[in-house]
Chains A and B, each alone.
Chain A
Amino acid sequence: MKGFSTKAIVATGLGAAIFLVLFMYVKVPSPVPETNLQLAYGVSAFFAAVFGPMPGFLVAFVGHALSDFLTYGSPWWSWVFASGVSALVIGFGATKIGTAVEQGRFEKSEIISFAIYCVIANAIAWLVVAPVLDIVLYSEPVKTVVLQGIVAWILDSIVSIVIGGILLKAYASTKTGEGSLKKNG
């Protein structure tokens, strides 16, 4: 994080705190039984798009790791790392979107490319990184790992796109100028 502005560092710290709170406490039931929608991935996607890949990575990585520490006593590193990677990839893809959002723009073209990045990033994280690490680090059986990966890929892509998108839209709307507004009679 050399050369990172203080603001990016603070955003990383607070973003991870939000990720942690949502990851631990907020359970939104998903259509797949026994699984929840992790709203936190929408938040990490938002921070990745606005502040860049590295802050995004850390928001998800630190948030997920601390949540594991608090819930299970020890992190499940392969998934923690995959969480980070999902945000990292969104961050790399979405640099242009970040700039647009800062200028108050998050329209159709931005939304579509954001959605595409979310799907790709989550595919890399949950179909590649998580299963491979699970097998290499933990010697987990392949089938289990791949099935879990597919479920995570679908659910987390949806959350990243919907929640991340809504947050980006809301943030962009605070960036519009006051210039041209007229009162209605």
Chain B
Amino acid sequence: MNDEMIVFKDFGFQYFEQSEPTLHHINLTIRKGEKILIAGPSGSGKSTLGNCINGLIPFAHKGKITGSLTVAGIETKNSSLFELSSKVGTVLQDSDGQFIGLNVAEDIAFALENDCIEQKEMIERVRKTAEMVGMDTHLAKDPHRCSGGQKQRVSLAGVMVDDVDILLFDEPLANLDPKTGKTAIELIDEIAASGKTIVIIEHRLEDVLHRHVDRIVLVNDGRIIMDDTPDNVLAANILTSYGIREPLYLKAARYAGCEITADMKPASIETIDTEKLRSPLKYWFEENKGRYDAKERKEMLEVKNISFSYDGVKPTLDGINLTIHEGEMLSIVGKNGAGKTTLSSILCGFIKPDEGSVLMYGEDLSKYSISERAEYIGIVMQNPNQMISKTMIFDEIALGLRIRNVDEKEIEKKVDEVLKICGLYEFRSWPISALSFGQKKRVTIASILVLNPKILILDEPTAGQDYYHYSEIMEFLKRLNEQGQTIILITHDMHLMLEYTERAVVLSDAKLLADEKSYQVLCDPDLTQRANLRETSLFELAEKTGFSDPEAFVECFIHYDRRMRADENQNVLLQSA
């Protein structure tokens, strides 16, 4: 009895402002020292579940609780946020927002300050905790000079300093590049070894399973669908139907017609028994290889020898050369600070390069003002809220045209056209606030498309989105691309590169490191290392099953997968028509 840390008993919760409960009849027990992954699509209630554990519900977000939830023996609804926060440490998704202090040490000390701990003791405890997460040599660093991974370590130290029993991670991978994410999972695993109870809420299953997890709790629609070991959950083959991405190596195995059973240990590419996979994969590869056709494309945009430095000392971009072709969809990848955003700012004319030029069909774009240039190259920001300034969808999309004094009749025609392309026509009289994130994203894309730019740049278009919404946004962009729109995606999402863009440009430390096929980038250990990516598990699968040319296997998978998804979408379209 004593080792039960978190016990939900027939637990339900309904937010005051909502008409339906978000959680129904939850029964779940988590024991001391266990490491649990709670997975589910957005809106499934998994974050609500987490907020019930840390006390934000019902103390910061009000609502009606039914049933019972005890955390470390305390019935939460009779407790307080303060009492619960001394038992549960929460690391939030956005570690930038969680970094409250003006430097590392101060931020770690925040909880101690609130507890009126003496300065002397505080300094000692901060030092010790910082050591645990490897930040002890950065105590005076301010948040602007910390990398994403370092910020997350600080967040972790900030909750561990209180010596909590339970650590709750709310989508810890959302804002990290793949390599940093991998390190984060390893760090969480090290902490788990010290006996803490760990709850991870995340929909990126494959990345979390890089290290051992005791159980996966699959949540959908406010209910627990499955609560079992990772091997059993993966063997059950139900993830995709609940909007969660299945690990790629398993997808490949299923394409090859293999049955996945729990005794194969499918939880990780490192543990999976590939004996039974070998011959089906070989056979599938021989059947499907080489069935790809490349298009000839005309050159469109030429980036010539661009260099730029913010401070005149350290280059942010150093001699970048790049050609973009008509109708292409490509990704620009690289770790934070590699110069991706700077390059897109230069393309849009927001900043002037110190050297070099940007030519569109041979015409130098530097003579245009920022707003004139938007008719050649348009950019869509990561967060739609950074762009939306009108209440109504129509007005938002029309903004750029109205400022350009286009005739109102003409505006109506153009906006309607774009609304149709973006699948928003039926919503045209809605207020923007009633739209979902994905729909808002489409409004911002529409507001740029209406200016008819030759190239569309999107900054992290799917950041923070689950598989379902990711697919929704990307399929939309794919259709747009198929209609001839040239698209550049700035991203560090490996799936996005692999699944949707033929070509990837890799920036690292101000230089252009590679410009090749996306799957080639993700099969090159040295390159992935330098760009803060990681190799795809498909590559490892191919190596483990004895393919002499793993790259060819990955290439084959990518094309096969695209055909499968295209068929699937075709079916969906036919059904809905």
Complex A–B touching at CB under 8 A: yes
Give A contacts to B, CB under 8 Å: 169-170, 173-176, 178, 181, 183-185
Complex Cα distance, B430 from A175, in Å, reads 14
Nearest 5 pairs of A and B residues by beta carbon? A183-B426, A174-B433, A173-B391, A178-B434, A181-B434
Which single residue of chain A is at the shortest CB-CB distance from B388?
A170
Judge whether A169 and B391 touch: CB under 8 Å: yes
CA distance in complex: A178, B431 (Å): 9
Which of B389, B391, B425, B430 has a CB less than 8 Å from the CB of A181?
Answer: B430
Contact A185 B433 (CB under 8 A): no
Set B426, B427, B431: member contacting A173, Cβ < 8 A:
B431
Asked whether A176 lies within 8 Å of B434 as measured between CB atoms, the reply is yes
- Residues of B within 8 Å of A173, CB to CB, are 391, 431, 433
Do residues A184 and B434 form an inter-chain contact, with CB atoms below 8 A?
A: no
Q: What is the CB-to-nearest-CB distance from B392 to chain A, in angstroms, rounded to a whole number? A: 9
12 CB contacts below 8 A, A to B, read A170-B391, A173-B431, A173-B433, A175-B433, A176-B433, A176-B434, A181-B430, A181-B434, A183-B426, A183-B427, A184-B426, A184-B428
User: What separation, in Å, do the CA atoms of A185 and B428 have in the docked complex?
Assistant: 10
B429 within 8 A of A: yes
Residue of A nearest to B430 (CB): A181
Residues of chain B with a CB closer than 8 A to A170's CB: 389, 391
Instruction: Looking at the assembled complex, report how far the CB atom of B389 sits from the nearest CB atom of chain A, in whole angstroms.
Output: 8
Inter-subunit contact B426/A185 (CB<8 Å): yes
Residues of B near A169 (CB, < 8 A) are 391
- Interface residues in B403-451 by Cβ distance below 8 A to A read 425-431, 433-434
B431 & A176 in contact (Cβ 8 Å cutoff): yes
Residue of A nearest to B100 (CB): A10
Q: How far is the CB of A104 from chain B (nearest CB, A)?
A: 9
Interface residues of B in 158-201 (CB under 8 A from A): none
Chain B residue with Cβ nearest A104: B433
Q: How far is the CB of B420 from chain A (nearest CB, A)?
A: 12
What is the distance, in angstroms, from A119's C-beta to the closest C-beta of chain B? 26
Question: In the complex, what residues of A have CB within 8 A of residue B391's CB?
Answer: 169-170, 173
* Contact residues of B: prevailing secondary structure: mixed
Rounded to whole angstroms, the CA-CA distance of A169 and B389 in the bound complex is: 11
How many whole Å from B160's CB to the nearest CB in chain A? 21
| Separation of A173 and B434 alpha carbons in the complex (Å) | 9
A34 to chain B, nearest CB (A): 27
- Closest B residue to A173 by beta carbon equals B391
A169 to B434, CA, bound (A): 15
Given A175-B433, A176-B433, A181-B434; 10 other pairs, CB 8 A cutoff: A170-B389, A170-B391, A173-B431, A173-B433, A178-B434, A183-B426, A184-B425, A184-B427, A184-B428, A184-B429
Q: How far is the CA of A174 from the CA of B425 in the complex (A)?
A: 21
Cα of A14 to Cα of B11 in the assembled complex, Å: 37
Chain A residue with minimal CB distance to B392? A173
Q: In this complex, which of A169, A178, A185 has the most chain B Cβ atoms within 10 angstroms of its Cβ?
A: A178
Contacts of B430 in A (CB 8 A): 181
Complex Cα gap A44–B428 (Å): 33
Q: Report A-chain residues with C-beta under 8 Å of the C-beta of B431.
A: 173, 176
Separation of A173 and B431 alpha carbons in the complex (Å):
8
In whole Å, how far is B353's beta carbon from the nearest beta carbon of chain A?
24
Question: Closest CB of chain A to B430's CB: distance in Å?
Answer: 6
Roughly how many angstroms separate A173 CA and B433 CA in the complex, as a whole number?
7
Residues of A within 8 A of B426 (CB): 183-185
Task: Name the B residues within 8 Å of A175 (CB-CB).
Answer: 433
A181 and B425 alpha carbons, distance in the complex (Å)? 14
Complex interface: chain A residues within 8 A of B427 (CB): 183-184
Which of chain B's residues have a CB closer than 8 A to the CB of A178? 434
Annotate B11-55 by CB proximity to A: 1 below 8 A, 0 otherwise. 000000000000000000000000000000000000000000000
Nearest chain A residue, comparing its CB with the CB of B391: A173
Q: What is the CA–CA distance of A93 and B180 in the complex, to the nearest angstrom?
A: 50
From residue A9, how far is it (CB to closest CB) to chain B in Å? Answer: 11
How many Å lie between the Cα of A174 and that of B440 in the bound state? 13
* CB-nearest residue of chain B to A183: B426
A1 to chain B, nearest CB (A): 16
What is the minimal beta-carbon distance from A133 to any residue of chain B, in angstroms? 32
Give the residues in chain B near A181, CB-CB below 8 Å: 430, 434
Q: Which residue of A lies closest to B81 (CB)?
A: A6
Q: A35 CA to B186 CA in the complex, in Å?
A: 57
Rounded to whole Å, the gap between the CB of B499 and the closest CB of chain A is 30
Residues of chain B within 8 A of A183, CB atoms compared: 426-427
Determine which residue in B389, B425, B429, B434 has the highest number of CB atoms from chain A within 10 A of its CB, and name it: B434
CA–CA, A176 to B431, complex, Å? 9
Give chain B nearest CB distance to A150 CB in angstroms. Answer: 32
B426 to chain A: closest residue by CB: A183
Residues of A within 8 A of B434 (CB): 176, 178, 181
Proximity string of chain B (541-577) to chain A, C-beta cutoff 8 Å, 1 when within and 0 when not: 0000000000000000000000000000000000000
Residue of B whose beta carbon sits closest to that of A13: B100
**Distance in angstroms between the alpha carbons of A88 and B439 in the assembled complex:** 39
Docked pose: A142 CA to B235 CA in angstroms: 84
**Residues on A with beta carbons closer than 8 Å to the beta carbon of B428:** 184
Q: Whole-angstrom distance between the alpha carbons of A173 and B389 in the complex?
A: 11
Task: Tell me the minimal C-beta distance from B438 to chain A in angstroms.
Answer: 15
B435 → chain A closest CB, angstroms: 9
Cβ distance B72 to chain A, nearest Cβ, rounded Å = 23
Closest chain A residue to B431 by CB distance? A173
Q: Which residue of B lies closest to A180 (CB)?
A: B434
Which residue of chain B lies nearest to A185 when distances are taken between CB atoms in the complex?
A: B426
CA distance A178 to B433 in the complex (A): 8
* Minimum CB–CB distance for B42 against chain A, Å: 16
Q: How far is the CA of A174 from the CA of B428 in the complex (A)?
A: 17
A184 vs B429: C-alpha distance when bound (angstroms) = 7
A169→B430 CA distance, assembly (Å): 16
Rounded to whole angstroms, the CA-CA distance of A23 and B434 in the bound complex is 33
Q: Nearest-CB distance from B100 to chain A (Å)?
A: 9
Least CB distance from B58 to A in Å reads: 15
Distance between Cα atoms of A174 and B391 in the complex (Å): 8
Determine the distance from Cα of A169 to Cα of B431 in the docked complex, in whole angstroms. Answer: 13
CA distance A31 to B411 in the complex (A): 32
Of chain A, the residue at the smallest CB distance from B432 is A173
Bound CA span A7–B494, Å: 37
Which residues on the A side are within 8 Å of B433 (C-beta)?
A: 173-176
Residues of A within 8 A of B389 (CB): 170
CA distance A178 to B17 in the complex (A): 11
CA of A19 to CA of B391, assembled, Å = 23
A174 CB contacts on chain B under 8 angstroms: 433
